[in-house]
Amino acid sequence: NAGVTQTPKFRVLKTGQSMTLLCAQDMNHEYMYWYRQDPGMGLRLIHYSVGEGTTAKGEVPDGYNVSRLKKQNFLLGLESAAPSQTSVYFCASSYSRRDTQYFGPGTRLTVL
């Protein structure tokens, strides 16, 4: 049981470049989430999904898109990266909205 895995672990982008972060979970969870963590700001929800084929906006969705084509995978896309998107990105999953969220190890993204 790998739990929640994230790919890649680190990435450096130039302003304007695009990339996709992949999150995978093997716990058969319905709910999946993407957060960003910045110093002094805590974890902020970017987008989330309540099941395969669904997505919804969180607190800070601008500049990001997501897709949940398969139940076990949740993709986060940056179409045109900006320095303000330099952050640590965490994916999480849970069985239901009220249940424990299990977090992945994070992706450290730097946008120059």
Partner 1 sequence: QKEVEQDPGPLSVPEGAIVSLNCTYSNSAFQYFMWYRQYSRKGPELLMYTYSSGNKEDGRFTAQVDKSSKYISLFIRDSQPSDSATYLCAMMGTSYDKVIFGPGTSLSVIP
Q: Site residues (CB under 8 A) for partner 1?
A: 4, 40-45, 48, 58-59, 90, 92, 97-98, 100-106
Q: Which is nearer to partner 1, 80 or 100 (CB)?
A: 100
Nearer to partner 1, 17 or 60 (CB): 60
Residue with Cβ nearer partner 1 (18 or 100): 100
DSSP string, 80-110: S--GGG-EEEEEEEESSTTSPPEE---EEEE
Q: How far is the CB of 16 from partner 1 (least distance, A)?
A: 28
Residue whose C-alpha is closest to residue 92's, from 25, 8, 21? 25
Nearer to partner 1, 70 or 97 (CB): 97
User: What sign does the dihedral 49-71-100-98 (CA atoms) show?
Assistant: positive
CB of 88 to partner 1, least distance (A): 9
Residue written as tokens 């896309």? 77
Of the chain, the end-to-end C-alpha distance in Å amounts to 36
Nearest distance in Å: CB 100, partner 1? 5
Question: Measured from the CB of residue 80, what is the shortest distance to partner 1 in angstroms?
Answer: 26
Sign (positive or negative) of CA dihedral 40, 43, 44, 46: positive
